[in-house]
A = this chain, B = another copy of it.
Amino acid sequence: MIYYKYIRINVLIDQIKVINKFRFRKMAKLIDGNKISKEVLNEVSEELKKIQQKHPDFKPTLAIVQVGDRSDSNVYIGNKIKRAAEVGMDAKLVKLSNQITQVELEDEIDKLNKDHYVDGIIVQLPLDCVNEIDADSVIDQIHPAKDVDGLTRINAGKLMRGELKNTIFPCTPYGCLYLVQKATGDPNYVVGKRVVVVGRSKIVGSPAAALFMWHHGTTTICHSKTKDLKEVCKEADILIVAIGKEELIKGDWVKPGAVVIDCGINVRELEGGKRKLFGDVEFSSAQSVAGYITPVPGGVGPMTVAMLIKNTFQQGKARRLQA
């Protein structure tokens, strides 16, 4: 009889364990890029309103240079113009013919550089042009103080060397950093952490590695030639992925408790012609290992535009009001 009770108690304990395993299964906190990006935009909007009480004519302006008429570019540009309007800023589209030459395009940039009322200039990529254009050279024509995408070589050089003051950070890496700081609630969260950046593009990976390193992370940059990528990813307290390969990073590549920031935007055609976005991280497996994780969509994506608006606002303020 006593023995029988003992077995029953053990069965009960096992059942409780199973229930708890599901009930308390550790799931990563979701990093809500939509919400955090709105907070950024609201802050800009509030600060701008305050400034306008003293300087009613101050309306920061973003110039978007578009060559040709790519439909995907039109969507992205529409989104940027909408966000600018929401915070009370101006965004003007400089739409140029797909017949334009390098020299003509650089002249357009120069005009915007000289325009007192233009605070930020971006060139929408990729260019849609019948002529061969060196896009890097075009972007390098942008005055460093108006380079709100942070993509000129001057800004890249300053970032690499840790001259963080008066340097404009590229929007996506800046958004990644902001997400880590906001999600963890600690502006110094990066300090001393192992940071692994997967991908070394000009726009995301390379500047992200520099940005996180100068925020005092011990930063490793991985790329197509990296051996044993899985093992390197597992070292990361903060894992930034921007490699453009759908769901490459699996849950067992992630260190338990890590912050996972997924910059990937991969479109998968589903049955019936529907399309769905996927990141570079396999969300389903990673979310039960990570401490924090961004979804796709709704993670890094909305941050990029928010940081563009923030950069433009900051540069306008610095150049027009503090000069």
Contact = CB atoms under 8 A, between A and B. Distances in A.
Contact of A227 (B152, B157, B218): B218
Contact of A226 (B162, B192, B223): B192
Nearest to A202: B161
A293 interface: no
Contact of A223 (B155, B160, B216): B216
Contact of A157 (B153, B216, B218): B153
Given A154-B154, A226-B192, A161 B218 contact: no
Interface in A198-239: 200, 202, 206-207, 210, 213-214, 216, 218-223, 225-227, 232
B227 A213 contact: no
Contact of A221 (B159, B200, B218): B218
Contacts of A213: 200, 221, 223
> Can you tell how many copies of this chain the complex includes?
2
A200 B219 CA distance: 11
A207 to B, nearest CB: 8
With most chain B CB atoms within 10 A of its CB, the pick from A161, A202, A232 is A161
A: contact size bracket: 20 to 34
Contacts of A153: 153-154, 157-158, 161
Contacts of A214: 200
A162 B200 contact: yes
A156 interface: yes
Contacts of A163: 136
A77 to B, nearest CB: 24
Given A219-B220, A227-B192, A206 B161 contact: yes
B200 A218 contact: no
A191 interface: yes
Interface in A136-163: 136, 152-163
Nearest to A160: B160
B225 A191 contact: yes
A218 B185 CA distance: 30
Given A153-B154, A220-B220, 5 more contacts: A156-B156, A191-B225, A192-B225, A192-B226, A200-B213
The 6 nearest A-B residue pairs measured at CB: A157-B157, A153-B157, A156-B157, A216-B225, A160-B160, A220-B220
8 contacts: A136-B163, A153-B153, A155-B157, A157-B157, A162-B206, A192-B227, A216-B225, A218-B226
